[in-house]
Structure 1
Amino acid sequence: MAVTAGSDPPLEAGTGQLLAHLRSVLPGLAGALRQVGNVILEDPAWASRATIVELGERSGTSPATVTRFCRSLGLSGYTELRVGIATDIGRADQAGWEVGIGADVLPTDPLDRVLRTLLAVDLQAMHETAAGLDLRVVETVIGALVAARRIDLYGVGHSATVLEDMQMRLHRIGIASWTWSDVHAGLMSAAQLGPGDVAIALSHSGRSTETVDMLAQAKASGATTVAITNFSTSPIAEIAEHLLCTSVRETSYRSAEMSARHSQFLVLDLLYLAVAQRTHERATEPWTRAAEAVAPHRAPYETRARRDAETPETTRGGAR
């Protein structure tokens, strides 16, 4: 999902993005509303058939609370909620995905099922991330990146590793960018930014205090700020001018941050490729220079058949 920070567009019934949106906003919901959301995510199939009274009872709340929950998601009422859940389930069934917490790896699973589950979970996350992106917001971010004097990238842990790849690609097309994972170094860099610069912060949870602090400093310095996170109500979402949300669920043996990498790369790849498109003329020269610089460090490609054909008989099979 991609929105300008501070705006949370209402969902529309039948868009097939209700459960992804719910996972994104769930941590920011009040206690009783969060209870309703948790029950839905635990068993979406049951929730799609349940009455408003049954959902209230299972969540330990009331029909009035369920109604408030619907409105907090931008829905007109309970009927629209059920339609949205059923649409998500149908979409997942058609794609061969499992909905809810069932798509997981168990200790006794054979390797082929582990592979299928891994592929299904990651593909679903990428499809839901792509479906939730507001391309108007993405275009705004791309325009800022193209015009930027410099770009700061903030993240810690797994996020920093993902951002290092983005930095390398931007440098290859001649765009000045730096990745900061140490909060002291990042804060010093953020303090040097100003209008016309861009700061991108990556945090799956949106609650990494170092990343939040670095982005806050960049905003105070006048830079355009962008956050990429899985949770649209997280602290980092409150700071950023532009918000790009992934849609990822944690599975066993992989933390949420690890599960998020493919969807994070998808968002960053989109930004990079669009920037490369729009800077094609000026990017061609640095791209070529970079390729020429690393070319001598790559061994020539040779097939075994070609090596054998060029190797004397005495060295290949021994003296005869």
Structure 2
Amino acid sequence: MSIIFTNKTEGAVVGLLGRIRTEQGEMPEALRKVAEVILTDPAEAARSTIVDLAERSGTSTATITRFCRGLGFGGYAELRVALATETGRAARQRWETDIGQEILPDDGLDRVLGVVSGNDIRLIQETAAQLDLATVEKAAGAIAQAGRVLLFGVSSSAAVASEMEYRLQRIRIPTWSRSDAHSALTDAALLGQGDVAIGISHSGRTREAIEVLAEAGSHGAITVAVTSHPRSPLAEVAELVVTTSSRETTFRSEGFAAIHSQLLVLDVIYVSVAQRTYERTRKAFDLTVRAVTGHRLPEGDT
């Protein structure tokens, strides 16, 4: 059973539309209709009564209530407040309206920079808004005490796993990252109680990542999924799930766009681990800094 927490703090509403957009494809047909109406005109949805929204989506008020509860809201009133808050902020920021997401072949670098940076900033903010800190606390606590930590990801997620491996090793957490399924599965089979396995997949449907977490979990390891899809197969086999945001732009698939969000989530977990192991971390940093000092040119040298 996956543990998926919903952060209902005021900041959490910033990522509501991003979450609906991400999860829409996996919703039952009736809920997808509700999502489509909301995403088409969020401001109008925020002004609508539950009866109005049900009529516009061709569903029922019971379906609207189910949609709200699936997102972690107590009822439609809470969803309306969240939508109104987010659309108000979006109107002020106007990233997507003013910049857009399309990059044409003859666009100048100034526009390319605006689209890429604007999209990345928004995704990072959406990820931060929806990130459940209770889940982060559990993951960080498990990693800080772990005998071994295994990270797995393929393609762009492999680079993210490798970066997290470097950070945790730097503070004396025994960590390995793998991108080859056979190596990862053999490592996962050797994990046990007190160890941690982390699978990274934007889609949550990478077969190898699912198999690695399932294998690790079968031996008693704590399993963590990092994905943009909290109802994905990867999330289903994980004990803890932390979610990211992603949105496709020209030349950048959702998987590529998710990298910054994945790094943010893992960086927060890493810092939380470092806080828990402060004295050990401080000594480790002192030792490693001294070890590489001789390979740095003095200031002023060219």
Residues 153 and 13 of structure 1: is their aligned pair in 2 closer, same or farther, counting only changes over 3 Å? closer
Measured after TM superposition, the shift of residue 136 of structure 1 is 2.1
Q: Deviations over 1:128-150 (max 9, x none)?
A: 21122222221121111111111
Q: Which moved more, 1:272-281 or 1:225-234?
A: 272-281
Distance 2:221 2:71 in 1: 31
Distance 2:291 2:7 in 1: 50
Aligned positions of 1:139-218 closer than 5 A: 139-218=137-216
Q: What secondary structure does 1:193 align onto?
A: coil
- Cross-structure match for 1:220: 218
Give the aligned residue type for 1:141: A
- Cross-structure match for 1:90: 88
- Cross-structure match for 2:101: 104
Flag structure 1 segments of 5+ consecutive residues without an equivalent.
305-320
Query: Would you say 1:288 and 2:279 are equivalent positions?
Result: no
- Cross-structure match for 1:70: 68
Q: Deviations over 1:55-101 (max 9, x none)?
A: 556655556544543343344554543332221111223344337x9
Query: Would you say 1:38 and 2:32 are equivalent positions?
Result: no
Give the aligned residue type for 1:22: I
Calculate the TM-score normalised by the size of structure 1: 0.82
- Cross-structure match for 1:21: 19
Q: Which moved more, 1:193-202 or 1:89-98?
A: 89-98
Distance 1:197 1:188 in 2: 14
Give the aligned residue type for 2:281: A
Residues 168 and 82 of structure 1: is their aligned pair in 2 closer, same or farther, counting only changes over 3 Å? same
Distance 1:93 1:226 in 2: 36
Q: What secondary structure does 1:222 align onto?
A: coil
Q: Which moved more, 1:261-270 or 1:151-160?
A: 261-270
Flag structure 2 segments of 5+ consecutive residues without an equivalent.
none
Query: Would you say 1:242 and 2:245 are equivalent positions?
Result: no
Q: Which moved more, 1:37-46 or 1:118-127?
A: 37-46
**Greater C-alpha radius of gyration:** 1
- Cross-structure match for 2:126: 128
Q: Superposition RMSD on alpha carbons, in Å?
A: 2.9
Query: How many residue pairs align between the two structures?
Result: 300
Measured after TM superposition, the shift of residue 229 of structure 1 is 0.8
Q: What secondary structure does 1:201 align onto?
A: strand
Distance 1:102 1:45 in 2: 20
Give the aligned residue type for 2:236: E
Q: Deviations over 1:9-28 (max 9, x none)?
A: 48689952432332343233
Identity of aligned residues (%): 48
Contact 2:150 2:197 in 1 (8 A): yes
